Chain A
Amino acid sequence: MNPAEECPRTEALSAWVDNELGEAVRAELAAHVAGCAICAPVLAEFRQLHGAFAALPELAPDVDIAPLVDRRIAAAAAQPQTPPRPPPQRMRWWQAVPLALGGVLSLSLGAYLGSMLMLGSQATAQPAMRQMAAFTAIPPGALALCPTRQTCNPLER
């Protein structure tokens, strides 16, 4: 046993209670426990727990499980067996050609219609911008400089 092992030596003490230690290791541990104030109470608790388990009442089912199991097995055997589903067939490369062509065609059509829509929106946006220019503070054709402050800001008096 490793002398540097920390106390309580829980694993070794637990294995001792289970009678799973070799004779030499058990003797060495017994000598240690006799003089160790940490390991001795742990061993006592493990032994007490072992005794408490031994005192647990015997539990048994109140029915015979065998006929219940037998009935379920018989019921399962009487059910018609569903035929196994055939594995899904793998697609050949030539079967995928129409799908690929359809995909390319759809993408091309989408790109074409999208570009047409963009061009149309640019053509209609320009006249609207010209009409809106009448409502700006600077009339069309005027210079950007204000002759008086009131011209640019009529609320200011």
Chain B
Amino acid sequence: MLAPEGTDEDWIRRAQTGDRTAFPELVRRHQTAIYRFLLRMLGSHEDALELSQDTFIKAWQALPQWQPEAQFRTWLFRIASNTALDALRRRKLVEFVPLEESFDAPDSGPDPERQAQATQEVRQLAASLQKLAPEHRQVLLLREVEEMSYEEIGHVLALSEGTVKSRLARARAALIEIHARRRP
């Protein structure tokens, strides 16, 4: 289905004035990114699906207060990020759930040995990511997967750009250490 024309702000205004078709359009635009972030944060498809819905419900409830100065994407990620941290604290979800069992790494060439190595690397990274502290995991996912700038990450996590910079560096160092310990 082709995405209808218009910016997020246009659709938000329509939703704010009572257009019932507007909010589902906003959900469709952002559901993949929100689900992907929550899946990497929580390590469970069911939890990610449930918390994605919770994120959008919270956004819908707060929509009357939304200001055009705030970017809708970073605002949504802020809700998703807080929802994920709350769920992690509540459920004490620290066990690793293998995410990559059914996935293959992108084709890295005709060499099967190289491809198997790449697949192994991806699995190890996903596993190491689950061992990382949630605050480190979220900042790395926002940067490396969602490709947000330091300024955008600052808006999502309510941090200064300087704090984002230092937290990212610490998160990378911690992930490399975990990754090194997991290597045979």
Contacts and interface: CB of A to CB of B under 8 A. Distances in A.
Given A53-B144, A73-B57, A67 B24 contact: yes
A17 B144 CA distance: 10
Interface size class of A (residues with CB under 8 A): 20 to 34
Interface string B64-100: 0000000000000000000000000000000000011
A68 B53 contact: yes
B1 to A, nearest CB: 10
Given A11-B165, A52-B122, A52-B125, A57 B144 contact: no
Nearest to A67: B24
Contact of B49 (A50, A55, A63): A63
Contacts of B140: 53
Given A49-B176, A60-B35, A61-B52, A18 B168 contact: yes
Contact of A70 (B23, B40, B49): B23
A57 B104 contact: yes
A69 B150 contact: no
A14 B168 contact: yes
Interface residues of B, number: 47
Interface in B41-70: 48-49, 52-53, 56-57, 60
Contacts of B105: 55, 57
Contacts of A46: 172, 176
B112 to A, nearest CB: 17
B181 interface: no
**Which of B31, B48, B125, B140 is most buried by chain A, counting CB atoms within 10 A of its CB?**
B31
B24 to A, nearest CB: 4
A46 B140 CA distance: 12
A65 B56 contact: yes
B159 interface: no
A56 B104 CA distance: 9
Interface of A: 10-11, 13-15, 17-18, 20, 45-46, 49-50, 52-61, 63-70, 72-73, 76
Interface of B: 20, 23-25, 27-28, 31-32, 35-36, 39-40, 48-49, 52-53, 56-57, 60, 99-100, 103-106, 108, 118, 121-122, 125-126, 140, 143-145, 149-150, 165-166, 168-170, 172-173, 175-176, 179
29 contacts: A11-B165, A15-B169, A20-B149, A49-B176, A52-B122, A52-B125, A53-B144, A53-B145, A55-B122, A56-B122, A57-B105, A60-B32, A60-B36, A61-B48, A61-B49, A61-B52, A63-B49, A64-B28, A65-B56, A66-B24, A66-B28, A68-B53, A69-B23, A69-B53, A69-B56, A70-B23, A72-B53, A73-B23, A73-B57
